[in-house]
Amino acid sequence: MNFPDYRGRYLPAMTPGRIRALPDKAWAPVILATGAIEQHGPHMPVAVDALMGQVWLCLALARLPAGASCYVAPPITIGKSNEHTGFPGTLMISRDTLRSQVLAVARQVHAWGFRSLAVINTHGGNVPVIVPTLREIRALYGMRAAILPSAPVPGLSAQEAAFGIHAGEVETSWMLAAAGQLVDMSRAVCEYPARLTDPGEVRPVSSPALQAWASRDVSGTGIMGDAAAATAEKGERWLELGASAYALAIAEACRTGREQPA
């Protein structure tokens, strides 16, 4: 993968004059990748979520349908990762700082003339902060603002689909396909925070009552899922599906922006 092969759309690579003259700012979304630097088990680097944002951008922007357009903001690479503290390598910002950073990007790109912001988020812990922040952006600046939907991953076991939430089969397969030299499969294991057959209503995920978990409470290795089941071939297939879904979602944001200007 050539990095970054979306340079022609990367706003920090442009001069002020070029940004001023962009012809499609009224409807082309600015894509903001929000990630994390946090433990991803003993077999993967802590930058997985931040790196995956760049992988999705490279793959999705190469698949944009004709007539679609977008631009790319500098990524927010450190996220709200307080659930993963206690492992070396985890960095975190508070929910207030994450909100302020997303708002700051929106405020400035709005001042430059953009009217649509679309987030590609690769860290689940960011979602409860980003969703209300996008509504604030809509209310404050009148911009369109959305989290682009990630594609469902087919072919997982019911157990993995429910509890493979971190550094498991999916993320490890993506990484094997995108940057396999960074993955040590000899240290990839299967460890779940809970089982579908567990009794009770209070679990870390997928239950009526959710526990506010920290990864050290529910996983000795930091893995939550079956990392040992990951393969590069699965990763290739799932990257293709995910990138195509993101490309379609960007095209949809363009269409909406054209038809109903903000």
Smallest distance, Zn ion to C-beta of residue 246, A: 17
191 contributes a contact to Zn ion by CB under 5 A = no
**Smallest distance, Zn ion to C-beta of residue 40, A:** 6
Considering only the stretches 42-50, 89-97, 145-153, 215-223, report the one whose residues sit in contact with Zn ion under the rule CB under 5 A. Answer: 42-50
Q: Kindly tell me which residue out of 9, 31, 41, 49 binds Zn ion, with binding defined by CB under 5 A.
A: 49
Q: Which of residues 57-76 bind Zn ion (CB under 5 A)?
A: none
3-state secondary structure the chain: CCCCCCHHHEHHHCCHHHHHHCCCCCCCCEEEEECCCCCCCCCCCCCHHHHHHHHHHHHHHCCCCCCCCCEECCCECCCCCHHHCCCCCCCCCCHHHHHHHHHHHHHHHHHCCCCEEEEEECCHHHHHHHHHHHHHHHHHHCCEEEECCCCCCCCCCHHHHHHCCECCHHHHHHHHHHHHHHCCHHHCCEECCCCCCCCCCEECCCCCEECCCCHHHHCCCCCEEEHHHCCHHHHHHHHHHHHHHHHHHHHHHHHHHHHCCC
Nearer to Zn ion, 31 or 48 (CB): 48
Q: Kindly determine how many residues on this chain lie close enough to bind Zn ion according to the rule CB under 5 A.
A: 2
Residue 123 Cβ vs Zn ion, minimum distance, rounded to whole Å: 6
Provide the minimum distance between the beta carbon of 214 and Zn ion in the complex, in angstroms, as a whole number. Answer: 15
Nearer Cβ to Zn ion (33/48)? 48
Question: What residues make contact with Zn ion under the rule CB under 5 A?
Answer: 48-49
